[in-house]
Structure 1
Amino acid sequence: MHDIDELRELKEYDAGAPPLDDETRRRVRARLVAAMTPANGPAPVARHRRPVLRIALTGAVAAAMAAGVLVVVQHDDDGQGLKATPPAASSPAMTNVSAQTVLNGAAGYARKHERTVSPRDDQFIYTKEIIKETDLGTGVTKSHVDEDWRSVDGSQPSWVMEIGKGWWSQPLGKNESMWPPQDWGTLRKLPTDPEKLILSLLHKTGPDDRNDSLAEISEQEWSEIHFSLAGLLKLVPVMPQGLRPAAYEALGMVPGVKAVPNQKDAKGRTGVAVTYDDPTLPEGAGGFGGYFIFDPQTYRFLGFRDQRTSDGGKSGTKKPTTYTQLSYLDSWAVVDKAKQRP
C-alpha cells in the first residue's frame, strides 16, 4: 500500500503538484527497490513508544538483540501516537520544507553554537530539564523540574529523575552496556561523521550484524537506526563536540522522517517539528521519539513534544490517563559531585 501511495505522489509531481523534497524521493526509490527484492528480512521487532532510560545488554539480552528483539528495562508507560497539525495556509514558506533541510540546519546551528567541554572522569554532568504535562481529559497542566547528575565515566552512582521522581542509578556491571550510553568515554568514541555514525549503530549488536553502506540497509534496520538516534538525541542532553550535529544529520538520512510545521513548544513558541513514520509498525501506531521542535528560521532546537499514558495504578482499577508532554533543557554544567548545583 505504501508503494502505491508513493507512486501516486510521483505521478502527481508530473501533473503540476509541488516538487517532492529529497527525503520523499529517497523513500520512493527505497520502496521500489524493496518491492523488487525477495522478502526475507528479519522478524518484526516489539517496540516501546516512550523514551527508554536504559537498554541493558547483558549476555542473554545481547543474544536477543542479535535475534532482532529489543529488550527494554526501566521504561515508562506506553503512549499513543500524536496527530500532526496540518500545514497552515498562512505559512507557505514552511509547507514544503523537508526534514533533512531542518535537521541539516539544526546541525549547522549546533556546530556554530555548541559549547566545548572536556570533563574529568571523576566529575558529573548536571542537567536541568523542564517538563510540562497536560492531562488530555481535564486540560490541567502541571510542570516538573528534572535534575540529573550523571557520572562522567559511569563508575559512580548517578542521580536521575523523570517527571519529578528521582533515584540512584548504579554503575553498570560486568558485561553490561546501555543505549544510549551516558558515560563520556563511550560517547566520545561515537563517530562524528553522520554516515559512519549510522553504520556504527548497525554494528553494536555483534560482529556479524553489519552493513558496508547505507544502500544495503533494510527497512527494518532503518527503524532500528531511528530508534537509536532518537534515543541518543532525547536522552543525552550534553555530548562531546561534534556528536550532536552528526546525530541530527544522520537522523535526516533516515527514510520516513518528516517535517511538520506550526508546532508549539513548552514556552509557547511556534516551530517546525521533525517526527518519524515507522513503516514497520501497524498503520496508525505511534513510533518512538515524538516530535523534535526547531525554530523555523534558525533551526535552533527548542524542545520535545511527546505523549504518555499512565497505567491503571497498582490495583489496575484506575482509568489510564493520557498526557501531552512538552519539555526543554533549561541548563547544564560540569560539577565535582552528585547533587552539587552549579
Structure 2
Amino acid sequence: MRDTDELRELRDFDTGAPPLDDATRQRARARLFAVMTAPDGSAPALRNRRPVLRIAVTGAVAAAVAAGVLVAVQEEGGGKGTTAAPPGTSSPAMRNVSVRTVLNGAAAYERKHERTVSPRDDQFIYTKEIIKETEARTGATKSYVDENWRSVDDSQRSWVMEIGHGWWSPPVGKNESMWPPQDWSRLKKLPTDPEKLILSLLHKTGPNDRNDSLHDISDQEWSEIHFSLTGLLKLVPVMPQGLRPAAYEALGMVPGVKVVPDQKDAKGRTGVAVTYDDPTLPKGVTSFGGYFIFDPETYRFLGFRDKRTSGDGAKMKTYTQLSYLDSWAVVDKVKQQP
C-alpha cells in the first residue's frame, strides 16, 4: 500500500511542479524494482539495524547521541522532495537546484581548497567549534566555544567538549572498533572514490555478497549508509586528502537526500541546505543528520543545523543548534594552543 501511495504521488508530481531530481528518480526506481522482484509481489523484509556513532569533536550533536539514543523530531520548513523556488526567483539560495549539484559542487570546492596534512601518530588534532543554540519556547540564545584535542592514533586520551562541557575521552580498547573512526590510519584506508566508499560502508566484501553495485542496495541499507556518511562528515572535522569530497559525492547518491533552500547558518548567512528524507521512517520525521548548509553560489560548506532536547515530559526543552568549525591545527600535546 505504501508503494502504491508513492506511485500516486509520483504520477501527480508533474502538475505545476519542477522535474524530479536524480535522488527522487533513483528512489522511485529502487522501490519499483524491489516490488517487482520480490517472490510474493511484496517488498523484501528490512533489517532493523543501525551502526553505532562515536561522539568525537562536535558540539552540534545532541547529548542524546552521546548516550546512544537518536530521537526523531518533526522537520521544520520543508516537506517532502526538493523545495523549488517560485518562477522568476533570482536569489541563489532560492533556485531550484538538485542535491547532486550542491554536493558535487561542495566536493569540487573542497578538492580545490582542502589543506593536506600528515600528522604523526603521537600528535593531536585541535579543533575549535562555535555553537549557537536557541531554545524553541523562549527564544533565548546562548553561544558556546568548544575546543577539542583528539589523539591522532587514538592511543592517548583526548579532550572533547559538547556545548561547553568537556571531559577526558579514553582511547579505544583492544579489539574495539567504533564509527566513525578517529585514528588517522583507519581514515586513510577509507576509499576516496564515492561509489567504493558507499560499498565499503556495507561491510560486505565476500565473493557471494549481493551488494556489488549501488543498484543492489535496499532502502534500509541506504538509511544505514546515510547514517554512516553523516557521522563521518559531522564528527570528523579533519580528514585525509580526498576523503571529505568523496563523502560529499557519496551523500549525493543516497536516495532521499534533498535540498532545502533559504536556510540561515550560525553567522546569519543565507545558504542552501541538504537533509535526508528517510524512507524507513514515518513521514514528517527525520533521523540523525540535521542540515548541512552550503553557500548557494560557491557551495562552500558553512555549517550545521541540528536539534537537541533536554529534560522530560512538561519540562522538556527543544533547542535549535547552529554550528561551524572555526579553526583547526595539528599540535604536539593535549590542550596545547596552536
- Normalised TM-score (structure 2): 0.87
Q: Secondary structure of 2:315's match?
A: coil
Contact 2:72–2:288 (CA<8 Å) still a contact in 1?
A: no
Q: Which residue is 2:316 aligned to?
A: 320
* Unpaired segments ≥5 residues, structure 1: 55-71
Structure 1 residue 146: Cα displacement: 0.9
Contact 1:79–1:309 (CA<8 Å) still a contact in 2?
A: no
Structure 1 residue 82: Cα displacement: 2.5
Structure 1 residue 276: Cα displacement: 0.2
Q: Which residue is 1:41 aligned to?
A: 45
1:128-148 deviations in Å (ceiling 9; x for gaps): 001111000100000011111
Q: Secondary structure of 2:161's match?
A: strand
1:190-237 deviations in Å (ceiling 9; x for gaps): 000000000000017999876211111111100000000000000000
Which amino acid is 2:45 matched to? G
Q: Secondary structure of 1:323's match?
A: strand
Q: Secondary structure of 2:232's match?
A: helix
Q: Which residue is 2:238 aligned to?
A: 238
* Unpaired segments ≥5 residues, structure 2: 57-64
Q: Which residue is 1:84 aligned to?
A: 77
Which amino acid is 2:335 matched to? K
Q: Secondary structure of 1:288's match?
A: coil
Which amino acid is 1:5 matched to? E
Coordinate RMSD, CA, aligned: 2.5
Q: Residue 55 of structure 2 is aligned with which of 53, 56, 73?
A: 53
> Is the counterpart of residue 331 in structure 1 residue 296 in structure 2?
no
Contact 2:131–2:322 (CA<8 Å) still a contact in 1?
A: yes
Q: Secondary structure of 2:238's match?
A: coil
Q: Which residue is 1:220 aligned to?
A: 220
Structure 1 residue 5: Cα displacement: 3.2
Whole-Å separation in 2 of the counterparts to 1:84 and 1:47: 28
Whole-Å separation in 2 of the counterparts to 1:293 and 1:222: 22
Structure 1 pair 164/92, CA: closer, same or farther in 2 (3 Å)?
closer
1:98-155 deviations in Å (ceiling 9; x for gaps): 1111000000000000000000110000000011110001000000111110100111
Greater alpha carbon shift after TM alignment, 219-228 vs 26-35: 26-35
Whole-Å separation in 2 of the counterparts to 1:126 and 1:3: 51
Whole-Å separation in 2 of the counterparts to 1:161 and 1:21: 38
Whole-Å separation in 2 of the counterparts to 1:207 and 1:139: 55
Structure 1 vs Structure 2: percent identity of aligned residues?
71
Greater alpha carbon shift after TM alignment, 331-340 vs 202-211: 202-211
Contact 1:77–1:310 (CA<8 Å) still a contact in 2?
A: no
Matches within 5 A, 1:48-127: 53=55, 74-75=67-68, 78=71, 80-85=73-78, 87=84, 89=86, 90-91=89-90, 94-127=94-127
Q: Which residue is 1:183 aligned to?
A: 183
Q: Secondary structure of 1:280's match?
A: coil
Q: Which residue is 1:192 aligned to?
A: 192
Q: Which residue is 1:4 aligned to?
A: 5
> Is the counterpart of residue 170 in structure 1 residue 141 in structure 2?
no
Aligned residues: 318
Whole-Å separation in 2 of the counterparts to 1:80 and 1:208: 38
Structure 1 residue 24: Cα displacement: 1.9
Structure 1 pair 281/338, CA: closer, same or farther in 2 (3 Å)?
same
Contact 1:77–1:308 (CA<8 Å) still a contact in 2?
A: no
Q: Which residue is 2:266 aligned to?
A: 266
Structure 1 residue 28: Cα displacement: 1.7
